[in-house]
Structure 1
């Protein structure tokens, strides 16, 4: 929860610094139902779609982006390598930590409730 918001904030910081970039939400490449019991974030579907992501990332890089901000969940340590190799760029992974009350607030906001962030 919150990875897209943080990625967008990172994109804003890059823009403020004059850094050409693109922000891509990996959730759209893993949308699949039902998710397998052993892959709740459908990471395998994301890996299947990486050829598409490489083309999309290449388009941004060809247009002048020097940084790509990817929003998504990586549960396993080797997931970083699995993503980086097909995309063709080095990845820096940022782990999000939040107080439990903040996480619950994000969930209420997503569900249309009154969450406080």
Structure 2
């Protein structure tokens, strides 16, 4: 009988502009340079970015999950042992679709939070057009409220006054991936 190998999957959720991609980048760098843990990062916002989206799926979520399955298969074949996914996940159904796309997925969900004014300041610093800015400001407030009610996360990490590298190290500790992988700091090997 073939047993499926467990795949630790870190899903970083939170409203738009909260720092999910920056946290994922920081985690990836730490896993690579400090622990040499084979991993992959798939930003679902990027792999579902296509225009126009179908009317029944305005955020292209289904495309994102299909692309996740294809991309993960390639990363796995190249030796990735765990996966980091920064993306807005709004339901347990979405988390189940990650599990379908990544066979053996053991999903650990981290929700990033910050006061709305801090989140909005970050959005103002990155959006290029007035229409995009207004949409993201409205959407961030909506998502922050919805995600707080749904409580999909295992842990919450406040990002208000922390650098991405500090956020990344905090998440790595709480996720337990170093212990799972049996790694110590790279200088110890």
Greater mean alpha carbon deviation, residues 74-83 or residues 29-38: 29-38
* Greater RCO, CA 8 A, separation 6+: 2
1:17-56 alignment runs, 5 A limit: 17-33=35-51, 42=59, 45-56=60-71
The 8 Å contact of residues 4 and 71 in structure 1, kept in 2 or not, is answered as: yes
TM-score by length of 1: 0.76
Match of 2:110 in 1: 94
Give the distance between the partners of 2:65 and 2:53, measured in 1 at CA: 18
Q: Give every structure 1 segment of 4 or more consecutive aligned residues whose post-TM-superposition deviation is greater than 4 Å.
A: 32-40
Q: CA deviation at 1:33?
A: 4.9
SS of the equivalent of 1:22 reads strand
TM-score by length of 2: 0.50
Match of 2:9 in 1: none
Give the distance between the partners of 2:52 and 2:65, measured in 1 at CA: 20
Task: Give the unaligned 5+ runs of structure 1.
Answer: none
SS of the equivalent of 1:14 reads helix
Q: CA deviation at 1:32?
A: 4.4
Q: CA deviation at 1:31?
A: 2.3
Task: Give the unaligned 5+ runs of structure 2.
Answer: 1-16, 129-160, 162-189
How many residue pairs get matched?
A: 110
Q: 1:70 aligns with which of 85, 88, 96?
A: 85
